[in-house]
Structure 1
Amino acid sequence: MRRAFLMFVPLIAGLVAGPTLAAETQRYQMEKTDKGYVRMDTQTGEMSICEERDSQLVCKLAADERSALQDELGRVQSELKALDERIVKLENSLTAQLESKLPTEEEFQKSMGYMERFFRSFMGIVKDMEKEEQAPQTAPVPNKT
């Protein structure tokens, strides 16, 4: 049973890989020219010039596509450099803003003094209210006229 299973696995892998490989071979279309071949990528439309060297097919991007690729590469590199510079500026300005907005030790102590006085006053009010609630309630004295 195990041997039959082990023989079945490569068969399934071949069946699954078959359509994928067939789809990949259909991606490029080759046309013979006087100097070699022209290969067209049917998905992107890119054209490559191919020639035989030492029994191998060697393909290069067409000249106009090569220059377009180099232009795009230059543009992306410039954009990356500009983004790097922007990140550095933002990080530096954010650090400077945070440092400039922090209070000094004196300002901090002054604020803490205000808070302490506020809480002491508040707690005094709470204690007064508790005393009023704990005071014995006397019945109202009737008016004697």
Structure 2
Amino acid sequence: MRTALFAIALASLPAFAQAAEPQSDDRFQIEKSGDNYIRLDRKTGTMSTCTLSGADLDCRASADERAALQAEIDRLSGEVERLKAGTPETASGASISKDGKELTLKLPSEAEIKQVVAFFEDMLQRMVNAVKDLANGNA
């Protein structure tokens, strides 16, 4: 049964694979500006200042982009602090008390887990049988 599960999972991988977006050669526009270069990302509109070091082009975020990134970092830091303040931690992580109410995490029993696994095994077996019937022309 596990071999059949593995075979089905392996056979279904190409169906779930998504093609990566091809990288366009004209995404960036580079213009010389004095001793430096300005790089424009045509997809996002961001600009970077670049310097030529040897054969490499070393690009740094522009001041506007840096300010936007810092604003996002500050916003996320504030959100992390807010979330930390609102979530009491426990040693076990299984139950917490908030506003006088005890919240507990109830894990499924072994019997419930076996029931779910049996359901999925049955469903998978039916699917395998349906595929075999289609392959044999017994629709």
TM-score by length of 1: 0.47
Greater helix percent: which structure? 1
TM-score by length of 2: 0.49
Q: Which has the higher contact order (CA 8 A, sep 6+)?
A: 2
